[in-house]
């Protein structure tokens, strides 16, 4: 781990906005993550826009818009850049469908609004082929071939009927994969302090959702968690499959933190942490450890464990108080051109790299 990565947080202090204060808000650390939020259900529909318009005020949306950086003003179409999924074609992995039979040349293309009106009825049903296309599997015409071949199941039953419609509560699968028809969105936030990593808080304290209020009317949620007073990189998405992959302990996702202590760390304690220590919930050994400043008061630590408050507990074990904790690297993502309190949409190539992490 180079000092440059861990030192990245130093530049953020100049651009960090001062947190708003509210004497009626509790100072307790946040213990909740997406488990307490409103993440997308498997097979659930993208909610109508007005369902989420009430979540944030115009002022919050304007503030979030000012915080957005990067080249995308709205979520890009990540499906255009996705790799071809294995098993798409009976001829072999990685190959596309043959064109469906029939004369489509004389048919005038319909607008998305026209298709939406056709596919939905007043009860909220949607055509199965559009459901599959919205999930990013393939086009609507290719979805018709999947259906006719018997590759799609609804609530465990194979459906081959053209024009079949599904309900929001239906479980639609392509092979063993459960489909989510909501447009997938991925964004990266450089979290400031004093914000809770949760989708909502019953005590109405500030949450990270306010900072990304202008991301669009998608049911996104934080991947993992950062304590209320911890700053740094936080990935947010509605891609449940990727979120599960990044948070599962077996995948050993790389995370680098810059830790500012209340006093210089001794050589004895530094070497003890390097070798690994026994905490109340088990043994922990960082992947790498280094001094960021000559006074030995700022330490960089690379770790893949997702255990609760693990970095703070490592140093508290030796009697140190963590004055500041900042996450500078998460998986393949870093803080380059992302000042504190700002957010951006991920580029499609960044999403591909995340999905191919082993």
Q: Could you tell me how far CA 103 lies from the centroid of its own chain? A: 42
Q: Output the six-digit token pair for 307.
A: 């255990």
- Assess whether 227 carries a catalytic annotation: yes
Among the listed residues 12, 30, 227, 326, the single catalytic one is: 227
Residue of 147, 148, 122, 126 lying closest to 137 (CA atoms): 147
Distance separating alpha carbons of residues 232 and 230, to the nearest angstrom:
7
Residue of 213, 196, 209, 192 lying closest to 26 (CA atoms): 196
Q: Output the six-digit token pair for 165.
A: 């419609």
Q: Assign 3-class secondary structure to the chain.
A: CCHHHHHHHHHHHHHCCCCCCCCCCCCCCCCCCHHHCCCCCCCCCCCCHHHCCCCCCHHHHHHHHHHECCCCCCCCCHHHHCCCCCCCECCECCCCCCCCCCCCCCCCCCCHHHHHHHHCCCCCCEEHHHHHHHCCCCCHHHHHHHHHCCCEEECCEECCCCCCEECCCCCEEECCEECCCCCCCEEEEEECCCCECCCCCCCCCCEHHHHCHHHCCCCCEECCCCCCCEEEEEEEECCHHHHHHHHCHHHCCCEEEEEEECCCCCHHHHHHHHHCEEECCEEECCCEEEECCCCCCEEEEEECCCCCCHHHHHHHCCCCCEEEEEEEEECCEECCCCCCCCEEECCHHHHHHHHCCC
Neighbours of 62 (CB within 10 A): 13
Distance separating alpha carbons of residues 310 and 234, to the nearest angstrom:
17
Active-site annotation, residues: 227
């Amino acid at each position: 781990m180079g000092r440059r990565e861990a030192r990245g947080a130093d530049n953020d202090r100049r651009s960090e906005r001062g947190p708003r204060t509210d004497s009626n808000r509790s100072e307790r650390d946040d213990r909740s993550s997406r488990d307490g939020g409103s993440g997308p259900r498997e097979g659930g529909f993208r909610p109508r826009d007005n369902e989420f318009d009430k979540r944030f005020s115009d002022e919050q949306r304007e503030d979030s818009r000012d915080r957005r950086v990067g080249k995308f003003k709205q979520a890009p179409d990540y499906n255009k850049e996705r790799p071809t999924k294995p098993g798409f074609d009976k001829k072999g992995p990685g190959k596309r469908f043959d064109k469906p039979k029939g004369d489509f040349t004389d048919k005038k293309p319909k607008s998305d609004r026209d298709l939406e009106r056709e596919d939905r009825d007043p009860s909220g049903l949607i055509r199965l082929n559009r459901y599959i296309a919205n999930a990013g599997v393939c086009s609507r015409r290719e979805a018709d071939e999947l259906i006719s071949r018997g590759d799609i199941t609804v609530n465990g039953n194979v459906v081959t009927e053209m024009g079949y419609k599904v309900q929001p509560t239906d479980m639609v699968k392509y092979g063993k994969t459960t489909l989510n028809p909501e447009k997938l969105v991925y964004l990266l936030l450089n979290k400031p302090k004093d914000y809770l990593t949760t989708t909502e808080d019953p005590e109405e304290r500030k949450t990270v959702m306010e900072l990304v209020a202008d991301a669009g009317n998608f049911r996104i949620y934080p991947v993992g968690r950062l304590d209320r007073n911890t700053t740094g990189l936080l990935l947010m998405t509605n891609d449940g499959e990727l979120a599960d992959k990044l948070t599962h302990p077996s995948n050993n996702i790389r995370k680098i933190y810059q830790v500012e202590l209340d006093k210089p760390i001794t050589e004895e304690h530094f070497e003890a942490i390097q070798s690994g220590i026994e905490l109340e919930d088990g043994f922990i050994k960082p992947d790498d450890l280094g001094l960021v400043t000559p006074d030995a008061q700022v330490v960089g630590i690379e770790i893949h464990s997702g255990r609760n408050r693990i970095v703070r507990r490592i140093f508290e074990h030796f009697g140190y108080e963590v004055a500041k904790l900042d996450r500078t690297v998460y998986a393949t993502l870093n803080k380059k051109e992302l000042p504190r309190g700002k957010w951006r949409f991920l580029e499609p190539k960044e999403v591909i790299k995340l999905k191919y992490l082993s």
